[in-house]
Structure 1
Amino acid sequence: MGETMETIQQEKYISFAIGEELYGIKINEIKEIIKMQDTTVIPNSKEYIKGVINLRGIVIPVISLRHRFDLPEEKYTKDTRIIVVSYEGEMVGIVVDRVSRVTTFDDLQPSSGDHGNIDKSFISGIGTSGEELVAVLNLNELLGQ
């Protein structure tokens, strides 16, 4: 891997919320953030896949982070967003309740604790930014299963 904690702390992250919990993704893994839009359901797909969207001629699968984390689905609001990330050369959309901000972390510790219903392999570390604790997502684990 070759990254030191000092290198990771200087990286920028987008923080976003699922319910009251904050999560983060490295900004260099994000292609864009778009408003929620209707998805086309794909029969016989995994339960957490909401469907696909057409983003400027590219068909992108969209997953529900709430479902992936075994949390109850909630109605979409004006703050619901799709974070489009690059995963293994493909674009994938991740539905989140709201996007918070771009941040760097004062401290980033490896994840070792309990994250409720969330598979601990989905979390690569816990970052602190001021008073906020942000769980940094491991996209390889989250999207690779």
Structure 2
Amino acid sequence: LGDELYGVDIMDVKEIVKIQSVRPIPNAPYYVEGIINLRGEIIPIINLHKRFHIKEMTKDSDFDEFEEDEGGFIILDIEGNKIGIIIDRINRVISVDKGEIKPPPQMLSGIGTEYIHGVVRQDQSYLIILDTRRLFNANELQKIVPEIR
């Protein structure tokens, strides 16, 4: 997202899908882009750029081989609810030992530490590991998921 590398626990990921048309839903929270129909299942799509005020990735970002069409959605399973988050691109899947995960600094690119599981040193930068369970509390899930069922 933006000019930072983020990761999520693969155990929370149901699948990764290519970008597709998102249908807006009225009266949704500002960070809900809308819904997609994924093989007959309605999935809400969340824009973490909006939620955490992160600027979108630009062509001058430090990441190699940035292409506009590399974005998509990561479909997460959060407490039995499927939710999609918009991603700028997928860098790669990596294995991380728990001992490599360090506590996050106090403030990191607009995202409060309560939403971050930790950080991992990756080459010359850091990978920020999001805590998917804390991205959306129970009240937010109630607002997002029931409206589409």
With the shorter chain as reference, the TM-score category is 0.7 to 0.9
> If the length of structure 1 is used for normalisation, what is the TM-score?
0.80
Q: Which runs of 5+ in 1 are unaligned?
A: 1-17
Find the partner of 1:136 among 129, 133, 139: 129
Q: Please state how far the C-alpha of 1:105 moved relative to its aligned partner.
A: 2.9
Residue 103 in structure 1 maps to residue 94 in structure 2: yes
Q: Is the 8 A contact 2:119 2:127 kept in 1?
A: yes
The structure with more helix, counted as a fraction of residues: 2
Find the partner of 1:120 among 113, 122, 125: 113
* Code of the aligned partner of 1:84: I
Identity of aligned residues (%): 34
- Partner residue, 1:90: 81
For these two proteins, the number of residue pairs brought into alignment is 128
Q: Please state how far the C-alpha of 1:73 moved relative to its aligned partner.
A: 5.1
Q: 1:68-106 CA distances to partner (integer Å, 9 max, x unpaired)?
A: 121245799301110001011011100010011111236
Q: Which runs of 5+ in 2 are unaligned?
A: 59-66, 141-149
- Partner residue, 1:46: 29
Q: Please state how far the C-alpha of 1:141 moved relative to its aligned partner.
A: 1.6
- Partner residue, 1:69: 52
> If the length of structure 2 is used for normalisation, what is the TM-score?
0.78
Q: Distance in 2 between matches of 1:84 and 1:74?
A: 20
- Partner residue, 2:62: none
* Code of the aligned partner of 2:40: G
| Displacement over 4 Å in runs of 4+ | 73-76
